[in-house]
Structures are given as structure tokens and as C-alpha cells.
Structure 1
């Protein structure tokens, strides 16, 4: 199955009602002509019939089903002081809703029920999540106070196959970005003319480098990624190997697949926009988003 055929088939499979080909094109981010060609091929293969996915089509998608989600939620959130003195940043409420809930709600809506939350700072407070999400499994990161987020991924290294990985301090405004099926490893990214944040260098849709800041068509990194079974298995080795390097404790986990072991991975950029995801970096930004904090 080609990537375009996958996009069309998975869009049809997850739609609440039959879609026109124009609607499929809009949701899949493809041209109508490409959708027409894909639908024709899928119909010939018996995977689609009369705008519906067939049983054979569902079977064909099964290897691409997302099986689990890992949420990194161990950090202190120093730039959000004073609110984080007593509350972990992912549990801070924005508009009455915990930041982490915007991710968890999207994950469960996509039918992903194997969910892991890696906790550290004020870790016991994450027990409250179990009231709303009783199937969550909590993983303790004992090194959160002496290492970067790579220590959280070392703790979760056995759960990265067919998995989304999230930074848990992201306010996810567009839950449709979290889909039931994925066919290749990817990161969400925002095309920008200029950014001072972490950025990808992207060529033909593939991430070629990772660095801080850039201009002239860079992609600003968003802390949401997906990893295929094959790449998740490699991450289970390469993340601990990066952690064990001199200075490895200070690394961000993303540097393992995108810098230190980049030759072993082919990771794609998946486009989103500034309106889809908001990272609240400071208490001042929190005040601007939620007037309840503007005292």
C-alpha cells in the first residue's frame, strides 16, 4: 500500500459517515486527483466499495493501528513558577481543563487505550488522573531532577513500538491530529519563515537535522511524534545508548533518533499549524491565555 493509498483508506475508515472524494482530499491533505487515483486502486484491491471501507480494507489497516501512547510528564516547569510550585505543569488547568487532558482525551477518542504517563516532580499528584482515565499506567522517573527528558524515555523505552510520544505540557487544540492509524515515523511540525525554537530541517518531507532556531523555510518542532514497530524497537536501544554517552543526561531524547543515530531512521515531518497546538512556556503566557490567572 502506498502512502497516499494509506491516507485515503485510513480517512475513509475513521470517518463517522461516508465522505465525498473532495471531503477525503480536504481531510487527508491531498489533491482531488490523487484521491481519485487512490480510490480507484483501493477499489480494484477490494479494500473500498461505494465510499465504504470493506472488511478486507480494515484487515489491511490493522498493521498500522497505533497501539499505545507515552506521555512525558516528569519535569518541574520552572518557567511556569509560581503555579508549578505546587502543581506539575501538565496538571495546570487552562480554561478549567488540565493541560494533559487535552492530549489524553484525543488519545482515547482515537481508540488508543494503552497509555503510559512518565511522572517525576510531585509525582503522586498524577494519581488523580486515574479517576477519569482508569486504564493509565504510571511510570516513575527517579532521575527527573538530575537529567533532561531523555531519562523519562529511558524509563519508558519498552513501550515505544507503534506508539505516540507526547510532551505533556502541550495544549492540544486540534484533537484530530491524533489518529487511529499511522504508517510511518513522524513528528508534528509547523512550517515557519523564522523561529527561535527547536526546528527541523526538512527535505522531501523527511527530517534531515534538528537544531535551535532557523529561518528561510524551517519547521518548528512540536513535541508529538509517532514511531513504527521497527523504529520503536531501535529506540529502545538508541535512547539508553545516548543517555550513556558523555553528557548524555543533559540531552533531549529526540536527539537520539534525529542526531546521534539519525542514519538508522527515516522520520517524516507531519504538518500542523500554530492554532493546532499551544506550548505555554511561561506564567506570563498562561496569564495571557487564561484571564483567571491574571491577578
Structure 2
């Protein structure tokens, strides 16, 4: 059984939906409950013995410089393309760090660290059941939780895909080559990195859905959500 060796945290984006707050603060460093969101992610990784952590930065990158000093094992990877291309560029610049790896976003809260456990069997994405309209990506799985398809039309039932995925070394090797193919050879740079495995080269992977509870991950996508979550979680993340 493989074990997670390292983590890649995506933290290069503008956080446009959180403006004007993110004009001066990158979204992963926005505080919730008195703590920057990305520190919630790093703390959860550390609780699972995952200390080799690469943080991909871009927008207001200098504000992340304190992280390696505060959290031994954290390194920063600069994404020089963050202001031109979609987040495929972030995993592309971090591609050499793909091993037995967990990939997740820095602008979310990990409320249940157990979902980042190092033991896993197959590559795949975290998901929770959904049976109402959603603008999220929806996975459809078979009786073994193998992903049969994924769509983004918003009018389907299935399993909501979260920005938390685990990759075996073998699949990471394939993912790395497809990132190079899409980003360099095809110059397909306006897609999400998840498109590479979930849509562009879906048949070359056997991805699983890792069930989680809806409250295990909290995403903050607006100023209003931030205020509500701050009130609810104040002091809980300290």
C-alpha cells in the first residue's frame, strides 16, 4: 500500500471572488478564526506526518515568505505564469515534486485532518454526496467508488469533487508527462490542472472517489461567507 510522501499546495491565484479583501492579501493568507487559511492546511498535513510540503505561489508571493521559517519542511515554488494562465501552470511548475503526493488548495479549511491520512490505495479525489443543483464538478462512480465520469453542468446528482486529491507515484509520472504535453506541446494553458486527468486523459487513469463528509473541508468563496464562517469558527483553529 502506498503512503503519501509529500504535499503540493496551490496558492498562486488572485482570489478575485474575495475582492476587495484580496487586493492586498492573497486569499490563502486571509484569516479565518484568527489563522490564515493556508496554515489550517499545513497544520492538518503535519498532524498526518506530512512535512515535505511545496507551496506554489504567484500573486503577492512575497507575503508567503514567512512560511518556510514557521513550518520546517515547507518550500515555496514560484509560478511566473500565474497572471496569464489558469492553474494548470501551477502544477506544471511543481511537476518534479509529483511522487506519492497529495494535492490541495491553500484557500480552504481542513476541519477533519483524518482525510489527509498518508495511507491510500488508488489515485483519486475527495468527494461528498450531492443531490441538488451545484456549480461544482460532479463525479459519478461505480460500486467500487471508481470514477466513471465527471461533469460540470450543475444539474446532476453524484459526488461533489473537492480540491483534494491523492496520487500514486505511477500515476504521478503519467500526470507529469501529460502536464508537459498540454502546457508545452499543445500550449493548452487556460484549463484547470484537474482537466488533464479528469477530462483530457481520463481513460489513461483509474481514479477513485474518496468519500468525505461535507463539513470536512470548508471553502470560503465570498466576503459574506468569510464573515459567517469567522463568526462560527472563531477561536476553533487556534
Work out whether the TM-score is over 0.5: yes
The runs of 5 or more residues in structure 1 that have no matched partner are: 1-60
Residue 174 of structure 1 and its aligned partner are, at CA, apart by: 0.8
Determine the structure 1 residue equivalent to 2:46. 108
Give the match for residue 224 of structure 1: 164
Q: 2-side partners of 1:291 and 1:97: how far apart? A: 13
Matched, 1:76 2:40: no
Which residue of structure 2 lines up, in the alignment, with residue 85 of structure 1?
Answer: 23
> Which of 85, 106, 109 in structure 2 is aligned with 1:171?
109
8 Å Cα contact 2:124/2:166 also seen in 1 = yes
Structure 1 residue 208: deviation in Å? 2.4
Give, in angstroms, the shift of residue 211 of structure 1. Answer: 2.3
CA distance in 1, matches of 2:55, 2:11: 7
| Displacement of 1:246 | 5.6
CA contact (8 A) 2:68 2:76 kept: no
Which is higher, the Rg of structure 1 or of structure 2? 1
- Give SS of 1:196's match: coil
Partner Cα separation in structure 2 for residue 254 and residue 119 of structure 1? 18
Structure 2 distance, partners of 1:187, 1:269, is 5
- Whether 1:199 and 2:138 are equivalent positions in the alignment is yes
Aligned CA distance change for structure 1 residues 214 and 78 (closer, same or farther; 3 Å):
closer
Q: Which has the higher helix share?
A: 1
Match of 1:139 in 2: 77
Contact 1:75 1:121 (C-alpha < 8 Å) held by counterparts: yes
Task: Supply the distance in 1 between the matched residues of 2:104 and 2:84 (Cα, whole angstroms).
Answer: 21
* Stretch moving more, 120-129 or 280-289: 280-289
Q: CA deviation at 1:247?
A: 6.6
Question: Separation in 2 of the partners of 1:70 and 1:240?
Answer: 17
For residue 222 of structure 2, what is the aligned residue in structure 1?
282
Mapped to 2, the partners of 1:159 and 1:246 lie a distance apart of 22
Q: Matches of 2:4 and 2:80 in 1, distance apart? A: 28
CA contact (8 A) 1:150 1:249 kept: yes
Higher-RCO chain (CA-CA 8 Å, sequence separation at least 6): 2
Tell me: CA distance 1:70–1:278, structure 2 relative to 1, closer, same or farther (3 Å): same
Match of 2:235 in 1: none
Residue 291 of structure 1, CA deviation: 4.1
Superposition deviation, residue 134 in structure 1: 2.5
How far apart, in 1, do the equivalents of 2:127 and 2:17 lie? 23
Instruction: Give 1:258's aligned residue.
Output: 198
Counterpart secondary structure, 2:152: strand
Deviation per residue, 1:139-179 (Å, 9 max, x gap): 00000000010000000111111000001111111111110
Matches of 2:162 and 2:103, distance apart in 1: 11
Secondary structure (helix, strand or coil) at the match of 2:135 reads strand
Q: How many residues align structurally?
A: 230
The gaps in structure 2 that reach 5 residues or longer are 233-238
Equivalent residue number for residue 66 of structure 1? 4
Query: Once superposed, what is the RMSD of the aligned Cα atoms?
Result: 1.6
Contact 1:100 1:170 in 2 (8 A): yes
